Amino acid sequence: MGSTEALRAAGLDTRRIDDLIRAALAEDLGGGVDVTSVATVPADQVATMDLTARAAGVIAGLPVAARVFEIGSGGTCVTTPVRSDGERVQRGDVVLSVEGLTRSLLVCERTALNLLCHLSGVATTTALWADALSGTGARVRDTRKTTPGLRELEKYAVRCGGGENHRMGLWDAALVKDNHVVAAGGVAQAFEAVRARFPGVPVEVEVDSLEQLAAVVAAGADLVLLDNLTPAQTAEAVALVAGRCRLESSGGLSLHVAHAYAATGVDFLAVGALTHSAPVLDVGADLRPVARGQGAGHGQGGAQP
C-alpha cells in the first residue's frame, strides 16, 4: 500500500496533508536550494536513508513521512515502511527506509522527521494515559487544544496511541461551556437552546458542581463534562447520575491521578496535554550510500520541491 492509500485508509484528507507538506518543504527551501547538499553531494549520488527510533515509544505518522519524501523528490524516492503506525518501538528500531538521490533525501529529511517525531510523541503520550486507565472502563480523549493546521494529524496520532477523539471542531458536536452558560442565562437553558437549534448534533455540557449536574441531567443531557471535580466529587457525580448519561472528567488531570478518576466509573478523561504538551519521540535519519547514478528511475540533478 502506497503512502497516499495508507493516509486515506486512516481516514485522513490526503489533499490537506499534501498541501501541508508542500508548505513545509517550501518554508525550508525559501525559494532557493539546499546550499549545503548542492555543494557537497554529487548530483547523481543515490543512497538509502533509514529512519530509526532513538527512544522507546509508539510510532505514528509513517505514511506522512513517506509522503514527504515522495513529494519532495518529485516521486523518485522509493519508501519502504518497516513498522506500522500504532506499533510500540524500541531504541534502535528502523521504522522507515527510503531510497533515492541523496540530495532529495537530505532536502526532505527534516520535514519528515519534524512530523514523524511530533506525531509519534503524541501517540506515545496517549499510550501512557491509556496504560494508566487499563483495567477500568474509562477511555482517554483529546481536546481542541491542538497545533493550528495539525489537528487532523494530531487526532490521528491520538488514535494510534490508543485514545479516542473528541469533536473535530466547532461544527460536528456542541460543548456548552461556562461562557455559553453566562450568555444563555443558565446551564439548563444553554443545553436546551442548543438541542432546539441543532437537534441532530451531539451535545455535551460542562458543569462544575453537582447542582449543575443534576439540572442538566434532568433536562435530558446524555454527556456531561465534569470540570475540576475531585475524585471524591466525581464518585458522587457517578452515583447521582446512576447510568442516565455518560460522564467525562476534565481539568487538573495528571498521570498519577488518572487511575483514581477512572476508578470512579466515569466514561472518559479529557486530556489536552495529549496534543499541547506531548514531547517528541526522538527519531533520527542515517544515510547508507549506494552509488552514483545507480538508482532506478532517478534522473540527473535530483528533484527540488
Percent of the chain predicted with pLDDT > 70 = 95
- Give yes or no: residues 86 and 153 share one domain: no
Is the confidence at residue 44, as pLDDT, over 70?
A: yes
Domain range holding 184?
133-276
**Lowest-pLDDT range, 116-130, 176-190, 289-303?**
289-303
- The CB-side HSE value for 275 (13 A sphere, CA atoms) comes to 28
Is 221 a member of any domain? yes
Is 300 a member of any domain? no
Residue 169 confidence (pLDDT) = 97
Is the confidence at residue 227, as pLDDT, over 80?
A: yes
- Give yes or no: residues 48 and 89 share one domain: yes
- Written as one letter, the residue type at 85 is D
Cα of 161 vs its chain's centroid, Å: 9
- Give yes or no: residues 162 and 272 share one domain: yes
Is the confidence at residue 304, as pLDDT, over 90?
A: no
Is 299 a member of any domain? no
- Give yes or no: residues 238 and 156 share one domain: yes
User: Annotated active-site positions, please?
Assistant: 110, 145, 177, 206, 227
Q: Where is 283: in which H helix or E strand?
A: strand 283-292
Residue 292 confidence (pLDDT) = 60
Residue 252 confidence (pLDDT) = 85
- Give yes or no: residues 265 and 285 share one domain: no
- List the one residue out of 130, 39, 113 whose CA is nearest residue 72: 113
Q: List pLDDT tens digits, range 252-272.
A: 899 999 999 999 999 999 999
pLDDT interval class at 194 (50, 70, 90): very high
Is 161 a member of any domain? yes
Is 305 a member of any domain? no
**CATH code of the domain containing 26:** 3.90.1170.20
- Give yes or no: residues 123 and 18 share one domain: yes
- Give yes or no: residues 7 and 44 share one domain: yes
- Give yes or no: residues 228 and 194 share one domain: yes
- Give yes or no: residues 119 and 158 share one domain: no
**CATH code of the domain containing 162:** 3.20.20.70
- Give yes or no: residues 242 and 271 share one domain: yes
Is the confidence at residue 190, as pLDDT, over 50?
A: yes
- Give yes or no: residues 37 and 122 share one domain: yes
Which neighbouring-strand residues pair with 204?
175
Mean pLDDT of 61-78: 98
What is the average pLDDT score of the chain?
Answer: 94
pLDDT interval class at 180 (50, 70, 90): very high
Q: List pLDDT tens digits, range 94-140.
A: 999 999 999 999 999 999 999 999 999 999 999 999 999 999 999 99
- Give yes or no: residues 123 and 228 share one domain: no
Higher pLDDT, 289 or 56: 56
Is 248 a member of any domain? yes
Cα of 219 vs its chain's centroid, Å: 34
**Lowest-pLDDT range, 158-167, 213-222, 264-273?**
213-222
Helix (H, G, I), strand (E, B) or coil at 194: helix
Is the confidence at residue 2, as pLDDT, over 80?
A: yes
* Three cell numbers, residue 20: 501541508
Higher pLDDT, 292 or 69: 69
Is 285 a member of any domain? yes
Is 77 a member of any domain? yes
* Total tally of structural domains belonging to the chain: 2
